[in-house]
Structure 1
Amino acid sequence: MNTTVLFIHGEWLSAAAWDNFSSRYRACGYTCIAPPWPLSEGPPERLRSAPHTDFPRLGIRQIIEHYAALIRRMPQPPLLIGHSLGGLLVQMLLDRGLGCAGIAIAAIPPRGVIPRLSVLSRAIPMRMAWGSWKRVMYFPLPEFTQQFTQAMAIQDIALLYANHIVPAPGRIFFEAAFGIGTYVDFANDRRAPLLLIAAENDHSVRPCVVTSNYRHYNRSAASTSLKCFAGYSHWLITEPGWEQVADYTIEWAQTQLGRF
Protein backbone atom coordinates (compact mmCIF):
# COMPACT_ATOMS: atom_id res chain seq x y z
CA MET A 1 0.00 0.00 0.00
CA ASN A 2 1.35 3.40 -1.00
CA THR A 3 1.76 5.82 1.91
CA THR A 4 1.29 9.55 1.55
CA VAL A 5 3.59 11.90 3.44
CA LEU A 6 2.08 15.19 4.54
CA PHE A 7 4.77 17.79 5.24
CA ILE A 8 3.81 20.72 7.49
CA HIS A 9 6.04 23.78 7.48
CA GLY A 10 6.55 26.03 10.48
CA GLU A 11 6.91 29.75 10.98
CA TRP A 12 9.22 31.65 8.59
CA LEU A 13 9.78 28.79 6.12
CA SER A 14 7.63 28.34 3.03
CA ALA A 15 6.15 24.97 2.11
CA ALA A 16 8.80 24.71 -0.64
CA ALA A 17 11.42 24.20 2.08
CA TRP A 18 10.31 20.55 2.05
CA ASP A 19 11.32 20.02 -1.59
CA ASN A 20 14.54 18.18 -0.70
CA PHE A 21 12.83 15.91 1.83
CA SER A 22 10.02 15.24 -0.64
CA SER A 23 12.44 14.12 -3.34
CA ARG A 24 14.11 11.76 -0.88
CA TYR A 25 10.79 10.24 0.19
CA ARG A 26 9.49 9.93 -3.35
CA ALA A 27 12.60 7.96 -4.26
CA CYS A 28 11.51 5.45 -1.60
CA GLY A 29 8.04 5.10 -3.09
CA TYR A 30 6.08 7.58 -0.99
CA THR A 31 3.58 10.07 -2.32
CA CYS A 32 4.41 13.53 -0.97
CA ILE A 33 2.38 16.69 -0.46
CA ALA A 34 3.43 19.91 1.28
CA PRO A 35 0.44 22.27 1.34
CA PRO A 36 1.03 25.79 2.69
CA TRP A 37 -0.76 27.35 5.64
CA PRO A 38 -4.04 29.17 4.94
CA LEU A 39 -3.43 32.58 3.35
CA SER A 40 0.17 31.53 2.60
CA GLU A 41 -0.11 30.45 -1.01
CA GLY A 42 2.37 31.81 -3.50
CA PRO A 43 6.13 32.32 -3.89
CA PRO A 44 8.13 33.77 -0.96
CA GLU A 45 8.94 36.97 -2.85
CA ARG A 46 5.26 37.76 -3.31
CA LEU A 47 4.41 36.84 0.30
CA ARG A 48 7.10 39.20 1.58
CA SER A 49 5.62 42.10 -0.36
CA ALA A 50 1.88 41.33 -0.17
CA PRO A 51 -0.42 43.58 1.88
CA HIS A 52 -1.58 40.70 4.17
CA THR A 53 -5.05 42.01 5.00
CA ASP A 54 -6.31 38.90 6.84
CA PHE A 55 -3.00 37.17 7.60
CA PRO A 56 -2.39 38.87 11.01
CA ARG A 57 -5.52 37.18 12.39
CA LEU A 58 -4.30 33.70 11.46
CA GLY A 59 -3.83 31.57 14.59
CA ILE A 60 -2.87 28.03 15.49
CA ARG A 61 -6.50 26.88 15.63
CA GLN A 62 -7.15 27.93 12.03
CA ILE A 63 -3.91 26.35 10.82
CA ILE A 64 -4.50 22.97 12.47
CA GLU A 65 -8.12 22.83 11.30
CA HIS A 66 -6.83 23.47 7.78
CA TYR A 67 -4.60 20.39 7.94
CA ALA A 68 -7.11 18.26 9.85
CA ALA A 69 -9.71 18.82 7.15
CA LEU A 70 -7.19 17.91 4.46
CA ILE A 71 -6.24 14.67 6.25
CA ARG A 72 -9.86 13.63 6.74
CA ARG A 73 -10.36 13.83 2.97
CA MET A 74 -7.51 11.38 2.33
CA PRO A 75 -8.35 7.72 1.63
CA GLN A 76 -5.65 6.51 4.03
CA PRO A 77 -4.01 8.15 7.08
CA PRO A 78 -0.77 9.88 6.00
CA LEU A 79 2.64 10.01 7.61
CA LEU A 80 2.92 13.46 9.17
CA ILE A 81 6.22 15.39 9.22
CA GLY A 82 6.47 18.89 10.64
CA HIS A 83 9.16 21.44 11.47
CA SER A 84 9.04 23.95 14.34
CA LEU A 85 5.39 25.03 14.67
CA GLY A 86 4.66 22.31 12.11
CA GLY A 87 6.12 19.81 14.58
CA LEU A 88 3.69 21.04 17.22
CA LEU A 89 0.84 20.60 14.75
CA VAL A 90 1.98 17.03 14.06
CA GLN A 91 1.68 16.21 17.78
CA MET A 92 -1.77 17.78 17.98
CA LEU A 93 -3.00 15.96 14.87
CA LEU A 94 -1.75 12.61 16.14
CA ASP A 95 -3.50 13.26 19.45
CA ARG A 96 -6.73 13.72 17.48
CA GLY A 97 -6.24 10.29 15.89
CA LEU A 98 -5.13 11.68 12.54
CA GLY A 99 -2.08 10.22 10.77
CA CYS A 100 -0.49 6.77 10.78
CA ALA A 101 2.73 8.10 12.39
CA GLY A 102 4.35 11.46 13.01
CA ILE A 103 7.78 13.09 12.96
CA ALA A 104 8.21 16.40 14.78
CA ILE A 105 11.48 18.15 13.90
CA ALA A 106 12.73 20.92 16.22
CA ALA A 107 9.14 21.22 17.36
CA ILE A 108 7.65 24.00 19.44
CA PRO A 109 6.24 22.05 22.41
CA PRO A 110 2.58 21.71 23.38
CA ARG A 111 1.04 23.35 26.41
CA GLY A 112 2.41 22.06 29.69
CA VAL A 113 6.00 21.46 28.60
CA ILE A 114 8.46 23.45 30.70
CA PRO A 115 10.39 25.57 29.82
CA ARG A 116 7.94 26.50 27.04
CA LEU A 117 8.75 30.23 27.06
CA SER A 118 12.38 29.48 26.24
CA VAL A 119 11.38 28.62 22.66
CA LEU A 120 10.92 32.35 22.17
CA SER A 121 13.98 33.50 24.11
CA ARG A 122 15.62 34.85 20.95
CA ALA A 123 12.40 36.47 19.76
CA ILE A 124 11.98 38.84 22.70
CA PRO A 125 11.28 41.73 22.48
CA MET A 126 10.80 41.92 18.69
CA ARG A 127 8.16 39.23 18.23
CA MET A 128 6.70 39.53 21.73
CA ALA A 129 6.38 43.32 21.68
CA TRP A 130 3.06 44.86 22.68
CA GLY A 131 0.57 44.60 19.85
CA SER A 132 2.64 42.25 17.73
CA TRP A 133 -0.04 39.58 18.05
CA LYS A 134 -2.15 41.55 15.59
CA ARG A 135 0.60 42.31 13.10
CA VAL A 136 2.52 40.48 10.39
CA MET A 137 6.06 39.74 11.57
CA TYR A 138 9.13 39.63 9.34
CA PHE A 139 12.42 37.77 9.78
CA PRO A 140 15.20 40.28 8.94
CA LEU A 141 18.02 38.95 6.79
CA PRO A 142 20.77 40.03 9.29
CA GLU A 143 19.11 38.06 12.09
CA PHE A 144 18.59 35.06 9.84
CA THR A 145 22.24 35.25 8.71
CA GLN A 146 23.45 35.34 12.31
CA GLN A 147 21.83 31.98 13.00
CA PHE A 148 23.73 30.41 10.08
CA THR A 149 27.20 31.88 10.54
CA GLN A 150 28.77 28.54 11.45
CA ALA A 151 26.80 26.34 9.08
CA MET A 152 26.65 28.02 5.68
CA ALA A 153 28.48 30.43 3.40
CA ILE A 154 27.01 33.94 3.25
CA GLN A 155 25.94 33.60 -0.39
CA ASP A 156 24.14 30.34 0.39
CA ILE A 157 22.34 31.97 3.32
CA ALA A 158 21.13 34.80 1.09
CA LEU A 159 19.85 32.27 -1.47
CA LEU A 160 18.04 30.26 1.20
CA TYR A 161 16.46 33.44 2.52
CA ALA A 162 15.29 34.51 -0.92
CA ASN A 163 13.86 31.09 -1.76
CA HIS A 164 12.15 30.14 1.49
CA ILE A 165 11.77 32.81 4.19
CA VAL A 166 8.28 34.28 4.47
CA PRO A 167 6.42 36.47 6.99
CA ALA A 168 4.52 34.99 9.94
CA PRO A 169 1.41 36.15 11.81
CA GLY A 170 2.49 37.54 15.18
CA ARG A 171 -0.49 35.83 16.83
CA ILE A 172 1.11 32.39 16.59
CA PHE A 173 4.11 33.41 18.72
CA PHE A 174 1.89 34.47 21.61
CA GLU A 175 -0.31 31.40 21.31
CA ALA A 176 2.72 29.09 21.26
CA ALA A 177 4.40 30.87 24.18
CA PHE A 178 1.33 30.77 26.43
CA GLY A 179 -0.05 27.42 25.29
CA ILE A 180 -3.21 28.88 23.76
CA GLY A 181 -4.89 26.19 21.69
CA THR A 182 -1.90 23.81 21.87
CA TYR A 183 -3.19 21.13 24.24
CA VAL A 184 -2.04 17.54 23.77
CA ASP A 185 -3.05 14.54 25.90
CA PHE A 186 0.38 13.14 26.76
CA ALA A 187 -1.28 10.04 28.27
CA ASN A 188 -3.09 9.12 25.04
CA ASP A 189 -2.35 5.40 24.57
CA ARG A 190 -4.11 5.32 21.20
CA ARG A 191 -1.83 7.84 19.57
CA ALA A 192 0.16 6.72 16.52
CA PRO A 193 3.99 6.42 16.78
CA LEU A 194 5.86 9.70 17.20
CA LEU A 195 9.50 10.66 16.60
CA LEU A 196 10.80 13.87 18.18
CA ILE A 197 13.98 15.30 16.66
CA ALA A 198 16.25 17.92 18.27
CA ALA A 199 19.28 19.78 16.93
CA GLU A 200 22.33 20.29 19.12
CA ASN A 201 22.90 23.93 18.06
CA ASP A 202 19.26 24.95 17.92
CA HIS A 203 18.83 28.32 19.65
CA SER A 204 15.12 28.59 18.90
CA VAL A 205 13.86 25.24 20.23
CA ARG A 206 16.70 24.06 22.41
CA PRO A 207 17.42 20.32 22.79
CA CYS A 208 16.44 20.46 26.47
CA VAL A 209 12.96 21.64 25.43
CA VAL A 210 12.56 18.75 22.98
CA THR A 211 13.79 16.33 25.65
CA SER A 212 11.26 17.72 28.13
CA ASN A 213 8.57 17.33 25.47
CA TYR A 214 9.64 13.70 24.99
CA ARG A 215 9.55 12.93 28.72
CA HIS A 216 5.97 14.12 28.98
CA TYR A 217 4.99 11.23 26.71
CA ASN A 218 6.22 8.75 29.33
CA ARG A 219 2.62 8.81 30.56
CA SER A 220 1.54 6.99 27.40
CA ALA A 221 2.06 3.43 26.21
CA ALA A 222 2.16 4.70 22.62
CA SER A 223 5.51 4.51 20.82
CA THR A 224 7.63 7.68 21.24
CA SER A 225 11.24 8.09 20.09
CA LEU A 226 13.83 10.85 20.50
CA LYS A 227 16.82 11.71 18.30
CA CYS A 228 19.27 14.62 18.63
CA PHE A 229 21.50 15.56 15.68
CA ALA A 230 24.91 16.90 16.68
CA GLY A 231 26.18 20.01 14.93
CA TYR A 232 22.84 21.05 13.42
CA SER A 233 20.84 24.24 13.91
CA HIS A 234 17.09 24.90 13.99
CA TRP A 235 17.12 24.86 10.19
CA LEU A 236 18.27 21.25 9.90
CA ILE A 237 15.74 20.46 7.16
CA THR A 238 17.41 22.94 4.79
CA GLU A 239 21.01 23.38 5.96
CA PRO A 240 23.99 21.36 4.67
CA GLY A 241 23.69 17.76 5.80
CA TRP A 242 19.90 17.69 5.59
CA GLU A 243 20.25 14.33 3.79
CA GLN A 244 21.33 12.64 7.03
CA VAL A 245 18.24 13.95 8.80
CA ALA A 246 15.93 12.93 5.97
CA ASP A 247 17.39 9.43 5.70
CA TYR A 248 17.06 8.87 9.45
CA THR A 249 13.39 9.82 9.33
CA ILE A 250 12.81 7.52 6.37
CA GLU A 251 14.37 4.58 8.20
CA TRP A 252 12.29 5.31 11.29
CA ALA A 253 9.11 5.61 9.23
CA GLN A 254 9.76 2.38 7.36
CA THR A 255 10.32 0.57 10.64
CA GLN A 256 7.06 1.91 12.07
CA LEU A 257 5.04 1.28 8.93
CA GLY A 258 6.58 -2.12 8.17
CA ARG A 259 7.68 -1.16 4.68
CA PHE A 260 11.04 -2.97 4.49
Structure 2
Amino acid sequence: MRKMNLEVLSQQPLQELSNNPVLLVHGAWHGAWCWKVHFADYLAQQGFQVHAISLRGHGNSEGRRRLRWTGLADYVDDVAQVARQLSAPPIVIGHSMGGLVVQKYLQTHCAPAGVLMASIPPMGVLLTALRLVRRHPWLMAKVNATWSLYPLISSPELAKELLFPNEMPVAQVELFWQQMQDESYRCFAEMLGLGLPKPEKVNTPLLILGGGADTLISPDQVKATARAYGTQAIILPNIAHDMMLEPGWQTVADAIVSWLRTNSSDCSEF
Protein backbone atom coordinates (compact mmCIF):
# COMPACT_ATOMS: atom_id res chain seq x y z
CA MET A 1 0.00 0.00 0.00
CA ARG A 2 1.54 3.32 -1.09
CA LYS A 3 1.83 5.95 1.59
CA MET A 4 -0.30 8.97 0.70
CA ASN A 5 0.76 12.58 1.21
CA LEU A 6 -2.04 13.65 3.54
CA GLU A 7 -2.73 16.97 5.17
CA VAL A 8 -2.97 16.69 8.97
CA LEU A 9 -3.67 19.76 11.08
CA SER A 10 -2.59 19.25 14.69
CA GLN A 11 -3.26 21.07 17.94
CA GLN A 12 -1.29 20.33 21.10
CA PRO A 13 -2.79 20.86 24.58
CA LEU A 14 -1.11 23.11 27.13
CA GLN A 15 -1.65 20.31 29.65
CA GLU A 16 -2.24 16.81 28.30
CA LEU A 17 -5.02 15.10 30.28
CA SER A 18 -5.60 12.10 28.03
CA ASN A 19 -3.22 9.29 27.05
CA ASN A 20 -4.96 8.91 23.71
CA PRO A 21 -4.93 11.55 20.98
CA VAL A 22 -8.06 12.49 19.05
CA LEU A 23 -8.25 11.94 15.28
CA LEU A 24 -10.95 13.98 13.53
CA VAL A 25 -12.40 12.72 10.22
CA HIS A 26 -14.41 15.15 8.09
CA GLY A 27 -17.41 14.40 5.91
CA ALA A 28 -18.28 14.96 2.26
CA TRP A 29 -17.35 18.31 0.67
CA HIS A 30 -15.14 19.25 3.63
CA GLY A 31 -11.51 18.93 4.72
CA ALA A 32 -9.45 19.21 7.90
CA TRP A 33 -10.20 22.95 7.87
CA CYS A 34 -13.72 22.35 9.24
CA TRP A 35 -12.31 21.16 12.58
CA LYS A 36 -9.88 24.05 12.99
CA VAL A 37 -12.64 26.65 13.15
CA HIS A 38 -13.79 25.62 16.64
CA PHE A 39 -13.34 21.98 17.56
CA ALA A 40 -9.57 21.38 17.44
CA ASP A 41 -8.70 24.30 19.70
CA TYR A 42 -11.51 23.52 22.11
CA LEU A 43 -10.63 19.84 22.45
CA ALA A 44 -6.99 20.82 22.99
CA GLN A 45 -8.11 23.15 25.77
CA GLN A 46 -9.76 20.12 27.39
CA GLY A 47 -6.41 18.31 27.45
CA PHE A 48 -6.54 16.27 24.23
CA GLN A 49 -3.83 16.08 21.59
CA VAL A 50 -5.84 16.72 18.42
CA HIS A 51 -5.19 15.77 14.79
CA ALA A 52 -7.53 16.54 11.89
CA ILE A 53 -7.01 14.69 8.61
CA SER A 54 -7.87 15.79 5.10
CA LEU A 55 -8.80 12.56 3.35
CA ARG A 56 -7.18 11.97 -0.04
CA GLY A 57 -8.51 14.35 -2.66
CA HIS A 58 -9.54 16.88 0.01
CA GLY A 59 -7.94 20.01 1.39
CA ASN A 60 -4.21 19.95 0.73
CA SER A 61 -3.94 16.15 0.54
CA GLU A 62 -2.93 14.49 -2.70
CA GLY A 63 -5.42 12.66 -4.87
CA ARG A 64 -7.69 15.44 -6.14
CA ARG A 65 -7.51 14.30 -9.78
CA ARG A 66 -8.69 10.79 -8.88
CA LEU A 67 -11.31 11.91 -6.39
CA ARG A 68 -14.27 10.72 -8.47
CA TRP A 69 -12.96 7.13 -8.34
CA THR A 70 -11.88 7.13 -4.69
CA GLY A 71 -13.65 4.55 -2.52
CA LEU A 72 -14.52 4.27 1.15
CA ALA A 73 -11.74 1.70 1.59
CA ASP A 74 -9.26 4.34 0.41
CA TYR A 75 -10.51 6.74 3.08
CA VAL A 76 -10.21 4.00 5.71
CA ASP A 77 -6.60 3.47 4.60
CA ASP A 78 -5.98 7.19 5.06
CA VAL A 79 -7.29 7.13 8.63
CA ALA A 80 -5.21 4.04 9.39
CA GLN A 81 -2.07 5.65 7.92
CA VAL A 82 -2.38 8.72 10.15
CA ALA A 83 -3.36 6.66 13.21
CA ARG A 84 -0.18 4.58 12.87
CA GLN A 85 1.91 7.74 13.04
CA LEU A 86 0.48 8.83 16.38
CA SER A 87 1.91 8.12 19.82
CA ALA A 88 -1.04 5.94 20.91
CA PRO A 89 -4.25 4.54 19.43
CA PRO A 90 -6.45 7.55 18.73
CA ILE A 91 -10.01 8.26 19.72
CA VAL A 92 -11.67 8.54 16.31
CA ILE A 93 -14.39 11.14 15.70
CA GLY A 94 -16.16 11.20 12.35
CA HIS A 95 -18.75 13.57 10.92
CA SER A 96 -21.33 12.53 8.29
CA MET A 97 -19.48 10.52 5.60
CA GLY A 98 -16.49 10.58 7.96
CA GLY A 99 -18.66 8.79 10.49
CA LEU A 100 -19.18 5.96 8.01
CA VAL A 101 -15.42 5.86 7.39
CA VAL A 102 -14.89 5.60 11.16
CA GLN A 103 -17.39 2.72 11.37
CA LYS A 104 -15.50 0.80 8.68
CA TYR A 105 -12.13 1.65 10.27
CA LEU A 106 -13.28 0.25 13.62
CA GLN A 107 -14.14 -3.10 12.03
CA THR A 108 -10.43 -3.90 11.72
CA HIS A 109 -8.63 -1.42 14.00
CA CYS A 110 -8.50 -0.90 17.74
CA ALA A 111 -9.52 2.44 19.25
CA PRO A 112 -10.25 3.45 22.85
CA ALA A 113 -13.46 5.21 21.77
CA GLY A 114 -15.35 6.43 18.73
CA VAL A 115 -17.77 9.30 18.16
CA LEU A 116 -20.22 9.47 15.24
CA MET A 117 -21.53 12.97 14.55
CA ALA A 118 -24.57 13.14 12.24
CA SER A 119 -23.10 10.02 10.69
CA ILE A 120 -24.18 8.19 7.58
CA PRO A 121 -25.98 5.18 9.09
CA PRO A 122 -24.68 1.63 8.56
CA MET A 123 -27.68 0.97 6.30
CA GLY A 124 -26.50 3.71 3.93
CA VAL A 125 -27.85 6.90 2.38
CA LEU A 126 -30.78 5.61 0.33
CA LEU A 127 -33.34 7.45 2.49
CA THR A 128 -31.30 10.64 2.29
CA ALA A 129 -30.96 10.29 -1.48
CA LEU A 130 -34.71 9.82 -1.87
CA ARG A 131 -35.38 12.95 0.17
CA LEU A 132 -32.98 14.89 -2.02
CA VAL A 133 -34.66 13.58 -5.17
CA ARG A 134 -38.00 14.83 -3.90
CA ARG A 135 -36.64 18.25 -2.91
CA HIS A 136 -34.20 18.79 -5.78
CA PRO A 137 -34.95 16.40 -8.66
CA TRP A 138 -32.96 18.43 -11.20
CA LEU A 139 -29.93 18.71 -8.94
CA MET A 140 -29.93 14.96 -8.32
CA ALA A 141 -30.29 14.36 -12.04
CA LYS A 142 -27.22 16.55 -12.57
CA VAL A 143 -25.32 14.64 -9.86
CA ASN A 144 -25.92 11.36 -11.67
CA ALA A 145 -25.32 12.80 -15.14
CA THR A 146 -21.98 14.38 -14.21
CA TRP A 147 -20.85 11.84 -11.59
CA SER A 148 -20.25 14.75 -9.24
CA LEU A 149 -21.77 15.60 -5.86
CA TYR A 150 -20.84 19.26 -6.12
CA PRO A 151 -24.21 20.36 -7.58
CA LEU A 152 -25.81 19.70 -4.18
CA ILE A 153 -23.73 22.45 -2.52
CA SER A 154 -23.00 24.59 -5.61
CA SER A 155 -24.22 27.81 -3.96
CA PRO A 156 -24.16 29.16 -0.40
CA GLU A 157 -27.95 28.93 -0.34
CA LEU A 158 -27.90 25.21 -1.20
CA ALA A 159 -25.12 24.56 1.32
CA LYS A 160 -27.14 26.34 4.00
CA GLU A 161 -30.26 24.29 3.22
CA LEU A 162 -28.40 21.00 3.57
CA LEU A 163 -25.87 21.73 6.28
CA PHE A 164 -26.67 24.73 8.47
CA PRO A 165 -29.50 26.05 10.68
CA ASN A 166 -32.05 28.45 9.22
CA GLU A 167 -30.98 31.29 11.48
CA MET A 168 -27.35 31.19 10.34
CA PRO A 169 -26.66 34.24 8.10
CA VAL A 170 -25.84 33.39 4.49
CA ALA A 171 -22.76 35.63 4.73
CA GLN A 172 -21.37 33.36 7.47
CA VAL A 173 -22.30 30.25 5.51
CA GLU A 174 -20.45 31.65 2.50
CA LEU A 175 -17.18 31.79 4.45
CA PHE A 176 -17.39 28.03 4.92
CA TRP A 177 -18.86 27.32 1.49
CA GLN A 178 -15.84 28.92 -0.19
CA GLN A 179 -13.69 26.11 1.26
CA MET A 180 -16.02 23.30 0.20
CA GLN A 181 -15.34 21.06 -2.78
CA ASP A 182 -16.57 18.12 -4.83
CA GLU A 183 -16.91 14.64 -3.34
CA SER A 184 -16.28 11.15 -4.69
CA TYR A 185 -19.17 9.82 -6.76
CA ARG A 186 -17.88 6.29 -6.18
CA CYS A 187 -18.25 6.83 -2.43
CA PHE A 188 -21.81 8.00 -2.99
CA ALA A 189 -22.54 4.77 -4.87
CA GLU A 190 -20.92 2.72 -2.11
CA MET A 191 -22.93 4.55 0.55
CA LEU A 192 -26.10 3.57 -1.29
CA GLY A 193 -25.34 -0.05 -0.48
CA LEU A 194 -22.15 -1.35 -2.06
CA GLY A 195 -19.66 -0.63 0.73
CA LEU A 196 -21.56 -0.49 4.00
CA PRO A 197 -20.06 -1.32 7.41
CA LYS A 198 -20.76 -4.38 9.55
CA PRO A 199 -21.74 -3.22 13.06
CA GLU A 200 -21.33 -6.71 14.52
CA LYS A 201 -17.57 -6.42 13.93
CA VAL A 202 -17.21 -3.22 16.00
CA ASN A 203 -16.43 -3.56 19.72
CA THR A 204 -15.33 0.02 20.39
CA PRO A 205 -17.43 2.15 22.78
CA LEU A 206 -19.41 4.56 20.61
CA LEU A 207 -21.08 7.91 21.21
CA ILE A 208 -23.69 8.60 18.54
CA LEU A 209 -24.86 12.20 18.14
CA GLY A 210 -27.48 13.73 15.89
CA GLY A 211 -29.06 17.12 15.41
CA GLY A 212 -32.74 17.75 15.94
CA ALA A 213 -32.69 20.26 13.05
CA ASP A 214 -30.60 18.14 10.67
CA THR A 215 -32.27 17.92 7.25
CA LEU A 216 -29.58 15.68 5.70
CA ILE A 217 -29.30 12.88 8.29
CA SER A 218 -32.56 12.79 10.21
CA PRO A 219 -32.84 12.05 13.94
CA ASP A 220 -34.57 8.78 13.03
CA GLN A 221 -31.55 7.75 10.95
CA VAL A 222 -29.22 8.61 13.84
CA LYS A 223 -31.35 6.52 16.19
CA ALA A 224 -31.21 3.64 13.72
CA THR A 225 -27.41 3.87 13.78
CA ALA A 226 -27.45 3.68 17.57
CA ARG A 227 -29.73 0.63 17.52
CA ALA A 228 -27.37 -1.11 15.10
CA TYR A 229 -24.56 -0.68 17.64
CA GLY A 230 -26.65 -1.54 20.69
CA THR A 231 -26.62 1.90 22.25
CA GLN A 232 -28.73 5.06 22.60
CA ALA A 233 -28.37 8.10 20.38
CA ILE A 234 -28.16 11.61 21.77
CA ILE A 235 -30.21 14.06 19.68
CA LEU A 236 -29.26 17.67 20.34
CA PRO A 237 -32.20 20.07 19.81
CA ASN A 238 -31.84 22.90 17.30
CA ILE A 239 -28.55 21.50 15.95
CA ALA A 240 -28.26 21.05 12.18
CA HIS A 241 -25.94 18.84 10.12
CA ASP A 242 -22.62 20.72 10.25
CA MET A 243 -22.64 20.57 14.01
CA MET A 244 -18.93 21.42 14.37
CA LEU A 245 -19.34 24.73 12.48
CA GLU A 246 -22.72 26.13 13.50
CA PRO A 247 -23.35 28.51 16.43
CA GLY A 248 -24.25 25.61 18.75
CA TRP A 249 -20.93 23.82 18.23
CA GLN A 250 -19.85 24.07 21.89
CA THR A 251 -22.93 22.14 23.03
CA VAL A 252 -21.78 19.34 20.73
CA ALA A 253 -18.16 19.53 21.87
CA ASP A 254 -19.14 19.50 25.56
CA ALA A 255 -21.30 16.40 25.03
CA ILE A 256 -18.31 14.65 23.44
CA VAL A 257 -15.81 15.67 26.12
CA SER A 258 -18.17 14.67 28.93
CA TRP A 259 -18.75 11.25 27.38
CA LEU A 260 -15.06 10.63 26.67
CA ARG A 261 -14.13 11.27 30.30
CA THR A 262 -15.95 8.10 31.36
CA ASN A 263 -16.34 5.89 28.29
CA SER A 264 -12.96 5.15 26.75
CA SER A 265 -11.48 1.65 26.91
CA ASP A 266 -8.03 0.13 26.85
CA CYS A 267 -6.60 -0.51 23.42
CA SER A 268 -3.42 -2.58 23.38
CA GLU A 269 -3.61 -3.55 19.70
CA PHE A 270 -1.78 -0.85 17.76
Question: Under a length normalisation based on structure 1, what TM-score does the superposition of the two structures give?
Answer: 0.83
1:54 alignment counterpart? 66
Question: Within 2, Cα distance between the matches of 1:229 and 1:36?
Answer: 26
Question: Within 2, Cα distance between the matches of 1:109 and 1:207?
Answer: 11
1:14 alignment counterpart? 31
Q: Cα 1:140–1:130, aligned 2, differ >3 Å: closer, same or farther?
A: closer
Deviation at 1:253, TM superposition (A): 0.8
Pairing 1:176–2:191 present: yes
- 2:24 alignment partner AA: F
1:201 alignment counterpart? 213
2:227 alignment counterpart? 215
Q: Partner of 2:65: helix, strand, or coil? A: coil
1:187 alignment counterpart? 200
Q: Partner of 2:217: helix, strand, or coil? A: coil
Name which of 166, 176, 195 aligns with 1:150. Answer: 166
- 1:187 alignment partner AA: E
2:248 alignment counterpart? 241
Provide the aligned length of Structure 1 versus Structure 2: 239
Q: Residues 1-260 of structure 1: matches in 2 within 5 Å?
A: 2-19=19-36, 20-42=38-60, 52-111=64-123, 116-124=125-133, 125=137, 126-127=139-140, 129-133=143-147, 135=148, 137-138=150-151, 139-141=153-155, 142-147=157-162, 148=164, 150-162=166-178, 164-178=179-193, 180-184=194-198, 186-188=199-201, 191-218=203-230, 224-257=231-264
Deviation at 1:72, TM superposition (A): 3.2
- 1:10 alignment partner AA: G
Deviation at 1:181, TM superposition (A): 1.9
Deviation at 1:52, TM superposition (A): 4.6
Q: Partner of 2:234: helix, strand, or coil? A: strand
Question: Within 2, Cα distance between the matches of 1:136 and 1:150?
Answer: 22
Q: Partner of 1:168: helix, strand, or coil? A: coil
Question: Within 2, Cα distance between the matches of 1:245 and 1:31?
Answer: 18
Residue by residue over 1:73-108, the C-alpha shift from the partner in whole angstroms, topping out at 9 and shown as x without a partner, is: 434210000100111111222222332110000000
Where do 5+ consecutive residues of structure 1 fail to align?
A: 219-223
- 1:18 alignment partner AA: W
Residue by residue over 1:2-33, the C-alpha shift from the partner in whole angstroms, topping out at 9 and shown as x without a partner, is: 32100000001221111111111111111111
Paired-residue identity, %: 26
Question: Within 2, Cα distance between the matches of 1:41 and 1:234?
Answer: 20
- 1:193 alignment partner AA: P
1:221 alignment counterpart? none
Does the CA contact (< 8 Å) of 2:165 and 2:240 recur in 1? no
Residue by residue over 1:49-91, the C-alpha shift from the partner in whole angstroms, topping out at 9 and shown as x without a partner, is: xx95322111111111111232234342100001001111112
Q: Partner of 1:82: helix, strand, or coil? A: strand
Which aligned segments of 4 or more residues in structure 1 are displaced greater than 2 angstroms?
72-75, 119-133, 135-138, 145-149
Q: Partner of 2:119: helix, strand, or coil? A: coil
Question: Within 2, Cα distance between the matches of 1:217 and 1:203?
Answer: 23
Question: Under a length normalisation based on structure 2, what TM-score does the superposition of the two structures give?
Answer: 0.80
Q: Cα 1:127–1:117, aligned 2, differ >3 Å: closer, same or farther?
A: same
Q: Partner of 1:196: helix, strand, or coil? A: strand
Does the CA contact (< 8 Å) of 1:56 and 1:136 recur in 2? no
Does the CA contact (< 8 Å) of 1:7 and 1:33 recur in 2? yes
Does the CA contact (< 8 Å) of 1:15 and 1:35 recur in 2? yes
Question: Within 2, Cα distance between the matches of 1:145 and 1:166?
Answer: 15
Worse-superposed segment, 248-257 or 68-77: 68-77
